[in-house]
Structure 1
Amino acid sequence: MRFIMQVTSKAVVGREVAYRDWYKSYHLSDVLTLPGFKSATLDRQLGENENATGGFIARYEVEAETPAAAMQALGAAWPSMRHTEDTDADGTRVEFLVREAVESAKDVVEQVSDHDVSSYRDKILARALRTIQSPQVVRARQLAAMRFRWVLRDDPPDEAWSSFDAMMDEYVFNNALKAANADPNYPEVMLNYAMPHQWHGIHVPGSRVNGDNCDNAYRLIPIDGKANFRLEGRRAAYGPSDVTFTLVGNWEMTKTLAGLEGSSLEYGPDGRFVITIGPDPANGKPNHIQSRPGAVMLFVRDSLGDWDQQPNEMRIQRLDPPDAPPMTDQQIAERAAELIIDSVPQVYWYLKYIHGSPNAFPQLIKSDTAGGLSTQRGNAASAILADDEAMILTFDPCGVNYFSVICQDYWWITMDYGQITSSRNTAQSALNEDGTVTYVVCGQDPGVHNWIDTAGLHNVVLNVRLQGLPTELEKEPLITSRIVKLRDLDASLPAGMRRATAEQRTAEIAERMRQVAERYARI
């Protein structure tokens, strides 16, 4: 399999020239002596106004069985390579992309739609990236981190504290993106709650918080309760399993004011749709959401029950004249700082809830009780597993178009779901003979198809969702969970449960990587 291995690194301040010379004269050639490393390029990382940041991006074309195999070969050769003291040790990051996926994703971007997605998204990204460097946000991050440490105290295990700074990075960028597109006078459709990815050559930091769903494309649109808006969209030929439009009254997306379910959305013959949002009632008008005082965002979820599905294309138009000029960078930074501080209690509440009863998964509940969907049943709970243990989860998916089990770290953030099977949805799961579905959650491959990989973590969060259910059910879906030793696993599984070989797992990971790369190139 062919990969692009992208390494982002940074020089010690004042040593950029020496670092670049070492990289070009020694390091690239050292790496290219390894089997499977075919070619390499080195570029400077530029910031605002094309100014150098001291960072560099190296891209290697690699042919290897898996990304892990390439990293293992690199690690084995590392001691014998020529090194430098000019590297900022905290500034290095390694990412893998499937080369074929990158090339096909570029084609998708060129063909995607008649909406100029790239221009407004680039503009909002630039605002958000400037915002996280502002003094207001730097200070707010420090205060938020301090408050998290105060209230959490000794609750998180050591392995969780090791990723605390990474969690804070995503938490801050999530709020910076919201602030950069917070003005209902000049609304845009903006992706948020996403893993780190590339967009038109820009490295976009992660923005995952509060139990993000790796099957969802989350888009946020600023809305107020007094103006009228028109949302135009188009469904792809292979569109999402479910889509919901939720008007929310807080920045944590947990206060639902109104909404429109995908099952009620009316499309034209070409897959196009128009949704109106405004203070007037629908009075029989289809595809209308009545806004409310206090509305701040339209929260759009495209749920991909198959990762080859494509999210809907959308653009927003405010129909009333703006009543204020665009927000300045100063105002955006102040808004982001406010959100970073004010959202701490909500994140803390979620963490206390999901870690309350480890290893005993609760029954599924209506998600609108915690800011979710009225047609969704779900819940989350923590699992604490030793190296020789697994959790077995079984439930009835009730024939819905979309269901999923997602493993997240202690901070309730998804892992690198392209490179490991830390999640499974409708298309990625194999049903039992009786129509139920069973998953095995553990840190080493148990040889079953429905493996949920904990990435070696011992304290994780499991999130289960069933979406698209009737508003009222005669019988609620039941879920069972239990912890078993790995040596007893086979005897504990349903008869006929599908197995997976090492070769099948390798092919599955390659497919996931392709799908993730293509998704983030589209939206």
Structure 2
Amino acid sequence: MAKPSILNGPDQIAMERAAVEVFSHPDVQAAMAAKRAAFETHPLAKTPAGRATIDLNLEEMAFSAVVSVVAMDVSRTLPFWTLNLPHRRGDVAVPGTRHGVDNPDNIYRVMAVDDVNTFRVEGQVHDRPGADVSFTLFNHYPGAGADSQSQGLLLLAQLDTDDEGRFAFTVGPEDADGRTNHIRTQPGQARLIFVRDSLQDWGAETPVSLSIKRIAGPGAVVPTQQNQVAAAVKAVGISIDYWLRLMPQWFGTPFNEIGKGRTKNFSYTQQATSEARFRLSPDEALIVTVDPSQATYLGIQLADPWGASIDYAAHTSSLNQHQAHISDDGTLTYVLSLFDPGVWNWLDPGDLEQGTMLHRWQGLPAGGFDSERSVRSARVVSRAQLNDALPSGMRRTTPSERARQRAVRAAQLARRFE
């Protein structure tokens, strides 16, 4: 008998179909259409890359808002896989849900909770888990109109697992009473458990299996589809306004300047990030050297100007410590350019001359994160200057090797839909 799918079980598919049904409702489609003007009049729309990606972001931000309604139904909470590329479920086309410079290395799952019920989450580790697996209690769904703030955090490494890799923890209003496998909810501050399996080796690391059930409390009212449609109409407007307001604030640094990594409490309490914008001519390249700084995980991801990750199935638009060539001194040097620079560590922006990028350090060392060491250098050079500007020992690649790199990447990504 085939093993049940970790990410694509019947509950996941049923909820995706339910979200598509709500998204297809005329009222929701009208709400999405009404937000087109907000994109078209936005300063980002004045750039070629911004104009070219309006349709994608309008649809994916709107569908993500619908998911934030359908998946946050506490009466039938389940681990729902989101922040995903567009895909198909049989005869149903499921739109993407990318926003906020989503990380292709991450399997993002959400589990609805509240502040009056108690929930038990059960999981199982399979073979090799991701480099960093976390369970964060949020007060807001990401993009739902207010910044998501961590209310509690558990790491897979902190949880006891039995001989078969099984683990469990609870979420509820009760005191932990010394338990390490419990996250206490506070009144008005519990909305969801946000799960991230950060996979560095896409071909070998596997997300953990998860289930959730209510074990105490009054339960929750089952919403009607009419109620969900009304909530989705409201959510579409709020979510799109949030992202269009946030992106210029979040990514307001000068183009092609990579700031030092900084720790913050946005979505993960043990993460440091460096936000940046790129803008390059066809004959320019941005060369950046970053340091893992003893973090368990380091990744760099590209996105379009609005924040949707560039199609990472078709492009090497993200790199992590496993995928990239690491220099002898332990640093990672990459090249971002519209042309193929002939090096293994190429960040491919997918023909977009302008966009956003995030550097993420997760699983920070106990002794503290060395911000000054995190980003060593960043500079723009011309295509003619590139070879002389690259550090010695930089791994080069041929067109056939590049084709193989992309093919392997696509095949490894396909594992997630098995």
Distance 2:415 2:165 in 1: 21
Match of 2:163 among 269, 292, 295: 269
Q: 1:507 to 1:117 in 2, by over 3 A?
A: closer
User: What is the aligned-residue RMSD (CA, Å)?
Assistant: 2.0
Match of 2:226 among 312, 321, 330: 330
Larger Rg: 1
CA deviations 1:246-291 (Å, max 9, x no partner) are: 1111122622222212332222221111010011121221221111
Partner of 1:513: 410
Match of 2:186 among 287, 292, 311: 292
Partner of 1:313: 209
Partner of 2:279: 384
The total of aligned residue pairs comes to 409
Structure 1 position 282 matched with structure 2 position 176: yes
Structure 1 position 146 matched with structure 2 position 146: no
Aligned with 2:62: secondary structure? helix
Structure 1 position 123 matched with structure 2 position 14: yes
Which residue identity is paired with 2:163? P
TM superposition shift of 1:324: 4.0
Q: Where does the alignment leave 5 or more consecutive residues of structure 1 unmatched? A: 1-106
Structure 1 position 252 matched with structure 2 position 147: no
Distance 2:174 2:335 in 1: 49
Structure 1 position 237 matched with structure 2 position 133: no
Which residue identity is paired with 1:279? P
Structure 1 position 461 matched with structure 2 position 353: no
TM superposition shift of 1:159: 2.9
CA deviations 1:434-486 (Å, max 9, x no partner) are: 11110000011111111111112110212111111036516323312111111
1:47-196 matches, cutoff 5 A: 110-112=2-4, 118-150=9-41, 152-153=42-43, 156-196=46-86
TM superposition shift of 1:367: 3.6
Distance 1:324 1:491 in 2: 64
TM superposition shift of 1:119: 2.1
Distance 1:236 1:284 in 2: 28
Q: Higher mean Cα deviation, 225-234 or 334-343?
A: 334-343
> 2:60·2:95 contact (CA, 8 Å) conserved in 1?
yes
Aligned with 1:487: secondary structure? coil
Structure with more relative contact order (C-alpha pairs < 8 Å, separation 6 or more): 2
Match of 1:494 among 374, 391, 413: 391
> 1:405·1:425 contact (CA, 8 Å) conserved in 2?
yes
TM superposition shift of 1:365: 1.0
Larger proportion of helix: 1
TM superposition shift of 1:180: 1.2
Q: 1:405 to 1:491 in 2, by over 3 A?
A: same
Distance 1:474 1:481 in 2: 20
> 2:138·2:192 contact (CA, 8 Å) conserved in 1?
yes
Aligned with 1:430: secondary structure? coil
TM-score (norm 1): 0.74
Partner of 2:196: 301
Distance 1:429 1:153 in 2: 34
Partner of 1:81: none
Q: Higher mean Cα deviation, 117-126 or 441-450?
A: 117-126
Same amino acid, percent of matched pairs: 30
CA deviations 1:390-437 (Å, max 9, x no partner) are: 101111112333211111111111112122111111210111121111
TM-score (norm 2): 0.92
Which residue identity is paired with 1:266? D
Match of 1:211 among 101, 104, 108: 101
Which residue identity is paired with 2:167? F
> 1:266·1:286 contact (CA, 8 Å) conserved in 2?
no
Aligned with 1:512: secondary structure? helix
